[in-house]
Structure 1
């Protein structure tokens, strides 16, 4: 059964999305939705990452709240940096952050966090996953930024995924 439906929730979601986008429950749309829901997960099953096991869900919730706070504060900081750019231009820099996190799912979550928090951009990951190159919009102290990044994001992700 698992080979026929590798991701039953995804199959159901794709079928529902197809029907919702077409705004029709006609036989043809229902058939196409079912076909899409069955075939797409089968075709993309080899691309799915390893199953995720979250070891500490409360740490994940705490990290989610922290990222939300950082998104708001970083939006304000970037807006303020843009508004005062004439008097004090931002000190943009590339920062090499040494990583202890090796789990693929944890690194994917870390990349999403870097993407969603304004002022930081995930630029490159070393082939051995030991160093992350990031671009920071306004950097005051590189060592303090690295310590904050590792403490705030990397360590909770290591607790969650490793």
Structure 2
């Protein structure tokens, strides 16, 4: 949906209005008016901080990807619990540099969020040119393999799902 000058994010405005009505649990005219005002004002005041979401070109693949990420989070929780409860000598913490092919700010934010949501890894830094992601892993016996896995499991599918060009 194309943004209008006075309504920079129409979908977000509608979503905020609906969320307001759900929070107050009332469909009165006054709350509808207040929700519409909040839905208009919040995106307008925050427009300089919001980034554009690229078009999803493969919605079914996005659903499958989200399910895969949830599965990875579950498996990583179990693996981290096993590592933390075991002997400390088994841990191989490391900082790993992962070269990025993603240029889009939103998709890059999604990738770094996925990495940080998966127990045992956290996005630590992004180079100034956004070409290298530094991540910390609780257990990374082979940092090169971890970097390749991040690119294969997360970066490549995100580049296919969203309409953005890789470098």
The 5-angstrom pairing of residues 42-53 of structure 1 reads 42-53=44-55
Match of 1:64 in 2: 66
The offset of 1:109, in angstroms, is: 1.2
Q: 1:51, 1:80 → 2: CA distance?
A: 37
Match of 2:93 in 1: 92
The offset of 1:25, in angstroms, is: 5.2
Match of 2:160 in 1: 159
Runs of at least 5 residues in structure 2 that lack an aligned partner in the other structure:
none
* Alignment CA distance shift 1:103-1:25 (3 Å): closer
The two structures, once aligned, show a CA RMSD in angstroms of 2.2
Runs of at least 5 residues in structure 1 that lack an aligned partner in the other structure:
none
Instruction: Using the TM superposition, name which of 148-157 and 37-46 deviates more.
Output: 37-46
Q: TM-score, normalised by structure 2?
A: 0.82
Instruction: Using the TM superposition, name which of 103-112 and 14-23 deviates more.
Output: 14-23
* Alignment CA distance shift 1:66-1:25 (3 Å): closer
Q: 1:159, 1:25 → 2: CA distance?
A: 40
Q: 1:148, 1:20 → 2: CA distance?
A: 40
The 5-angstrom pairing of residues 102-113 of structure 1 reads 102-113=103-114
Q: 1:55, 1:115 → 2: CA distance?
A: 25
